[in-house]
């Protein structure tokens, strides 16, 4: 009964209390152990670092490797047009690699050794080595000298096993008829390097089937 007949000024005070945010104590109290409420936005996640762009010399060397193993002779000739005899040798080697069915097993990144000099290691399977039944995988390393955005010199080296050279000498001594024609212009921009690789592969097979073959001389650390 008393609540129904409260004075108007009492009702007014109650309304002001509500407008001022005075909620009942049971609504204001936080639960024990609860995390404090916050209106702050979460900190943005750090942006991942973008990989740095390749040095121009390294980018050109990677293009060289792409072109070599695509067996695109015309594009390779354009790339090595300023490399003189070294360019001619690379054109021959590219033809040999195509004829020998070189397949990339592991492509190492090209690295800048010093300003203007880039090295690229490439591990391959190829028919001439497979004919020797060693299970070995050869790594060819290309070292390019680059000036003003042009390839001016190319050097190559391989970690071929001794048996590889033994086989070549055996073919030259025992089956010269296989290679005399196809390999006549070895190391030049002309000739038939693909036919030379196929002829030498056949010679290696004959060597591996001969009594002179000493068997695989591969070590545990090789071939990977």
Identify the CATH number of the domain in which residue 144 sits. 3.10.450.50
Instruction: Flag residues of the chain having pLDDT under 70.
Output: 1-52, 217-224
Q: Is the dihedral of CA 189, 194, 199, 203 positive or negative?
A: positive
128 inside domain:
yes
**φ/ψ (deg, to 5) at 46:** -65, 140
- Domain, as residue range, for 125: 56-208
- 92 within 8 A of 193, measured Cβ to Cβ: yes
pLDDT recorded at residue 40 = 54
How many domains is the chain built from?
1
pTM value?
A: 0.73
- What value, to the nearest 5°, has the Cα angle with vertex 137 and ends 103 and 205? 85
For residue 15, being part of any structural domain is answered with no
Residue 218 in any domain: the answer is no
In a domain, 146, yes or no: yes
In a domain, 201, yes or no: yes
Specify if 173 maps to a domain.
Answer: yes
Q: Token pair 């028919």 is at which residue? A: 127
List for the chain the helix, strand, coil content (%; round to 5): 40, 15, 40
The closest of 148, 156, 140 to 88, measured between CA atoms, is 156
pLDDT at 186: 86
Q: Does 153 reside within a domain?
A: yes
Q: For the range 215-223, what are the long-range contacts, defined as Cβ-Cβ under 8 Å and sequence gap of 24 or more?
A: 216/132, 216/133, 216/134, 216/135, 216/136, 216/163, 217/134, 217/161, 217/162, 217/163, 218/134, 218/135, 218/136, 218/161, 222/136, 222/159, 222/161, 223/134, 223/135, 223/136, 223/137
Cα(168)–Cα(132) distance, rounded to whole angstroms? 11
* pLDDT at residue number 97: 98
Q: Where do runs of H (alpha helix) occur along 100-192?
A: 127-131, 162-174, 176-179
Residue 52: predicted pLDDT: 63
Query: What pLDDT does residue 217 have?
Result: 58
Q: Residue 12 falls within a domain, yes or no?
A: no
pLDDT of residue 10: 39
pLDDT tens string 48-84: 444 468 899 999 999 999 999 999 999 999 999 999 9
């Amino acid at each position: 009964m008393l609540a129904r007949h409260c004075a108007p000024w009492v009702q007014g005070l109650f309304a002001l209390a509500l407008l001022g945010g005075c909620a009942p104590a049971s609504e204001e109290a936080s639960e024990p152990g609860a995390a404090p409420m916050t209106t702050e936005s979460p900190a943005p996640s750090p942006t991942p670092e973008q990989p740095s762009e390749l040095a121009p010399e390294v980018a050109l060397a990677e293009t060289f490797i792409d072109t070599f193993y695509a067996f695109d002779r015309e594009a390779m000739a354009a790339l090595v047009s300023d490399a003189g005899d070294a360019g001619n040798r690379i054109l021959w080697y590219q033809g040999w690699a195509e004829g020998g069915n070189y397949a990339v097993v592991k492509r190492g990144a090209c690295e800048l050794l010093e300003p203007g000099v880039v090295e690229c290691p490439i591990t391959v399977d190829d028919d001439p080595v497979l004919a020797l039944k060693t299970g070995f995988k050869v790594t060819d390393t290309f070292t390019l000298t680059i000036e003003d955005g042009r390839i001016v010199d190319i050097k190559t080296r391989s970690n071929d096993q001794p048996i590889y050279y033994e086989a070549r000498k055996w073919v030259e001594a025992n089956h010269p008829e296989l290679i005399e024609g196809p390999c006549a212009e070895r190391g030049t921009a002309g000739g038939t390097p693909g036919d030379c690789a196929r002829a030498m592969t056949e010679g290696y097979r004959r060597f591996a089937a001969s009594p002179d073959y000493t068997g695989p001389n591969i070590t545990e650390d090789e071939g990977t």
